[in-house]
Amino acid sequence: MRISALVPLYNCAPFIEECLDSMLRQTHKDTEIVIYDDASTDDSVGRVKAVMEKNPGARIVLLEGKENKGPGYARNRCWEAATGGFVALQDADDVSSYARFECELAAIFKYGLPVVTCKRRPMAALGVKVTLMFRPKAIRVHRGRGSCGGMMCPRTPMVPFQETWGCEDASWKRDLGYLYFDKKIVRGVFYFSRDDPARETLRTERKRSQRYFAAFEEYRQRRKNPKARMDAIRPAAQPILQLLKTHSKPPE
C-alpha cells in the first residue's frame, strides 16, 4: 500500500535535503513525497529540485505557493495532492528513521488502529549526526499530545488543518479524535525533531504564547458543539474502520 509523506516547506534550506534523504531511504518502498513550498525566501526549492534530479525514479511532487499562508494551508495542499492509502506527516526540518513507515503501517493493521504516531527524539540544529537505524522501544499507548510530526493516518477522508490561526497541530489532532471516535494511538521511536536554539528567543516565545492563547480561545468557542465539524465526513470513515477491523489482530 502506498504511503504519501506530506512535507510543508518554508525556509528550511539547511535541513530539507537531510529530511528528504530519510524519506527516500524508507524500508517501505511504495512511498511518495508531496512537498508544498509556502513561498520560501531562501534556497529551499532549489535544494528540493536538486534532490529530484539526483533521484529521477523517486515519486516526489513539488508544489510551489506564491504567498506565505502558514503550515496548516501547506499541509492541506499536500494532502489534496497525495495519492497513497495513508498519509505520513513530516516536518521539513526533521528526519525519520528509515523503518518508520514500515513499522507504523504494520502497527495500524496489527492493532486495528486508524491512527498511529511514534515517539520523538530531539536532535541538534546542525553539525550532529543522528543514528537512524535502531531497535524501537516497546509500543505504548499515546493520547495525542505534542506535534503531529511522526503521525500516520488514512488519506481518505481528509481531516483538514485550520488555515486561519496558529497551533494547527492541536486542533487537527482533536478533530482526528472526533472522526475516529478517540481511537488510541500506538507509539514507538522513529522520529527526530530539530532543536534549533536560535528560535528560542524572547520575541519568538511571546509570539508562540499569543498563538496558543488565540488557539485555545477558538477551541473554547467550538466546544459548544465539538463534533459538528466532523459530522459531514464521519460516514466516510466507516469503510476504513471496517477494513482495519477485518485485517487487524488482537494485541499480544
Which CATH number covers residue 144? Answer: 3.90.550.10
Which of 31-40, 160-169, 224-233 has maximum average pLDDT? Answer: 31-40
98 part of a folded domain: yes
More confident residue, 252 or 173: 173
Share the mean pLDDT of the chain.
Answer: 75
At residue 238, does pLDDT exceed 60? Answer: yes
Q: How many angstroms separate the Cα of 132 from the Cα of each of 88, 149, 151, 190, 194?
A: 17, 16, 17, 8, 14
68-106 b/e (C-beta count within 10 Å ≥ 16 → b): ebbbbbbbbbbbebbebbbbbbbbbbbbbbbbbbbbbbe
Per-residue confidence band for 203, with pLDDT thresholds at 50, 70 and 90:
low
14 part of a folded domain: yes
Give the domain range for residue 81.
Answer: 3-247
CB atoms within 10 A of CB 226: 13
- Count the domains in the chain: 1
Per-residue confidence band for 158, with pLDDT thresholds at 50, 70 and 90:
confident
Q: Which pLDDT belongs to residue 42?
A: 95
Q: Which pLDDT belongs to residue 136?
A: 39
Per-residue confidence band for 181, with pLDDT thresholds at 50, 70 and 90:
low
47 part of a folded domain: yes
31 part of a folded domain: yes
> ∠ at Cα 98 (53, 79), nearest 5°?
65
135 part of a folded domain: yes
Per-residue confidence band for 247, with pLDDT thresholds at 50, 70 and 90:
low
More confident residue, 43 or 180: 43
Which of 93-102, 140-149, 185-194 has maximum average pLDDT? Answer: 93-102
CB 141 within 8 A of CB 106: no
Residue in the structure block whose three cell numbers are 459538528: 228
46 part of a folded domain: yes
230 part of a folded domain: yes
More confident residue, 135 or 74: 74
Q: Which pLDDT belongs to residue 106?
A: 87
252 part of a folded domain: no
